[in-house]
Chains A and B, each alone.
Chain A
Amino acid sequence: MVPSVRCPLFQGIHELSIAESIADSVRQHAALRGGRRVRRIGVRVGDTSGVNAEALDFCFAIVVRGTDLEGAALDLERVPVRFRCEACGHEFEPAEFDPRCPACGVERGRLSGGDELSLAYLELDDEEPGRPGETTG
């Protein structure tokens, strides 16, 4: 089971800041590549990153509305919590952070994945944009 993580104060406010950070980074990368139009943005969201993917999706749409990034699809990939057994090296997805290794039975699983919150890829148009206005819609 994945613990659900939500902003206990104002649902979504935290994801709003995260969405703004994503939009800023994406614009920097697109600018470095001739300002080509961004079609798709891949983001990896770890289960212990504290970010709710649904809320992030919602906030991203708000943040880019009316901007150059409007219409770009956000591809959110969930990264599950992973443990690595310190006894035998086996990697597994624990239930509720249970450290018992399914391979050797020893309780020495340590977190090895699921923390990340990263920009993974961009999909850009091959063509450089024409006059302003031409590429919207």
Chain B
Amino acid sequence: MTERVPVRENVLKENDRVAAGLRAAFGGRGIFCVNLISSPGAGKTSILEGTLEALRGSSVRAAVLTGDIQTERDADRLRRHGFPALQITTGGTCHLDAAMVRRALDSLPLDGIDVLFIENVGNLVCPASYDLGEDVKVVVLSVTEGDDKPLKYPGIFRRAGLMLLHKMDLLPHARFDPAAAVADARRVQPDLEVVETSCYGAPGLGAWIAWVQRRLEAKRAAEPHAQP
């Protein structure tokens, strides 16, 4: 005979526990943390390079953790812009999890950081499930990927707070309807914010960088005891 025991718990509760610890560590230092997610080649590293370059002249101190299955290439690119960047190679795993981030932070001291960017492994499915202790998941959808992606990959759009509609410079060449992409994404996540970006030409990265700075200030205002 068998007995049925009800359980009712999140399958990823161990990841969530580690992520809660990371969130507390970021919160205690007033660090605003962004988890950047997209399919491979959408432009995450390029966006971060432009962002770091822009922040170089400001008072905001940034750092980057970048996830990749195999190589160190993204960290090499990112380190040229004046801020610390650390590669997390997952060795085959198609997403970052909270434990990988915690281990990486052994080599990346959090003191003196205002904004921590985490570039997730290029993948629109798996990274959505894993909380990394971030303040917000930002999904990058480039216009060359097709405006049907929000409903094909609802999980990530559902969990994102901001969508960057990226490579807008290519819009004239891509059959991509930004209004349709935004409408579909908001079917899945009505509160989703949207910013249009390009690394090569208008509209640039200014609106996105201003968004990051606003969110950092809002976090600092909400947690005034955090050390600057």
Contacts and interface: CB of A to CB of B under 8 A. Distances in A.
B126 to A, nearest CB: 4
A49 B155 contact: yes
A46 to B, nearest CB: 9
Contacts of A42: 7
Contact of A121 (B6, B121, B123): B6
Interface of B: 1-15, 39, 69, 92-95, 97, 121-126, 128-129, 151-156, 158, 184, 187-190
B187 A99 contact: yes
A10 B5 CA distance: 34
A9 B13 contact: no
Given A13-B126, A17-B97, 14 more contacts: A7-B94, A8-B123, A21-B15, A29-B5, A33-B5, A48-B154, A97-B154, A98-B187, A99-B187, A117-B129, A119-B8, A121-B4, A123-B5, A126-B3
A96 interface: yes
Interface of A: 3, 5-10, 13-14, 17-18, 21-22, 24-25, 29, 33, 39-40, 42-43, 47-51, 81, 96-99, 110-111, 115-126
B155 A126 contact: no
B125 A7 contact: yes
Contacts of B151: 3, 96-97
Contacts of A119: 7-11
A3 B154 contact: yes
B2 A50 contact: no
Contacts of B69: 9
Contacts of B3: 123-126
A13 B93 contact: yes
Contacts of B15: 21
B125 A13 contact: no
B152 A3 contact: yes
A96 B154 CA distance: 10
Contacts of A47: 154
Given A14-B125, A48-B158, A122 B5 contact: yes
B155 A50 contact: yes
20 contacts: A5-B125, A7-B126, A8-B125, A9-B69, A9-B122, A9-B126, A14-B126, A29-B5, A49-B129, A49-B155, A50-B125, A97-B151, A97-B184, A99-B187, A111-B189, A118-B9, A118-B11, A122-B7, A123-B3, A126-B3
A60 to B, nearest CB: 11
Nearest to A19: B11
A22 B97 CA distance: 16
Contact of B129 (A9, A14, A96): A14
Given A29-B5, A115-B158, A48 B39 contact: no
A22 B5 CA distance: 15
B174 to A, nearest CB: 20
B117 to A, nearest CB: 22
Most buried by B among A13, A81, A120: A13
B128 A125 contact: no
Contacts of A17: 93, 95, 97
Nearest to B5: A122
A25 B155 CA distance: 23
A6 B188 CA distance: 18
